[in-house]
Amino acid sequence: MSFIIARNLKKDYPMGKTTVHALRGVDLSVAKGEYLCVGGPSGAGKSTLLNIMGLLDDATDGELSFDGVDVRALSPKALHRFRRQRIAFIFQSFNLVPVLNARENIEFPLLIQKVPAAERQRRIDKLADEVSIREYLNHKPDELSGGQRQRVAIARALVTAPEVVFADEPTANLDSANGQAVLELMRRLNREEKTTFIIASHDQAVMSEADRMIRVIDGMICHD
């Protein structure tokens, strides 16, 4: 059964006197617990598609439902609450807060959700063990390697127990060894926690791990 359904999604950006058609009518269904890779060249629309499906941006036209909810019909406040409770993102640039240590970065979304202190610490410690960063919890981002920072970012994404994680080029800033370790970690968490992962990447290692691979070219899904 489809968990996320996109129908005829379009996204236009004005650029001077012209209009850039970033998405040109995307149809896509994602099953619950799926590990999906969205491939395609740079500028093809992968990130735009993830941002819209992950409710960080709104489509110009089309339909988008999430577990039976028409998310484009939600009020801004309801949309924000929906995204905060059910969706998480992992970015290639990590997006960690530099003045916070690893524990505080992971804790941040739980503070927004007003999770009690004891439960916050329990979740952080559990995930820190799962992603092998327990010894680095008191380190700030600039004291960590790229691979360690991405593990912190993954822990931060998963600490709220989201139903779906969107990852935009999660291995792009990592060397091959750290990139492979991060991929293995995400795949293991997908299998064990049944979390849905939707990953935008042109990394062949990401593509080979996916349950399903789609390609976006010129704002459309390419059916080979």
For residue 223, is pLDDT > 70? no
* pLDDT mean over 136-144: 96
Q: What is the pLDDT of residues 66-86, one digit of tens each?
A: 999 999 999 999 999 999 989
Give residues with Cβ within 8 angstroms of 204, minimum separation 6. Answer: none
Work out the average pLDDT over 123-140: 93
Average pLDDT score over the chain: 92
* Cα gap 66→111, rounded to integer Å: 25
Buried b (16+ CB within 10 A) or exposed e, 23-52: bbebebebeebbbbbbbbeeebbbbbbbbb
146 vs 178 pLDDT, higher one: 146
Q: What is the pLDDT of residue 134?
A: 94
- pLDDT of 171 higher than 90: no
pLDDT of 224 reads 56
Residue 173 is predicted with a pLDDT of 81
Strand 220-222 to 212-217 pairing: antiparallel
Residue 7 pLDDT grade (very low, low, confident, very high; cuts 50, 70, 90): very high
Higher pLDDT, 138 or 180: 138
Predicted confidence band of residue 183 (pLDDT cuts 50, 70, 90):
confident
Please choose, from the candidates 176, 206, 156, 211, the residue with its C-alpha nearest in 3D space to the C-alpha of residue 46. 206
Across 27-41, 139-153, 202-216, least confident range = 202-216
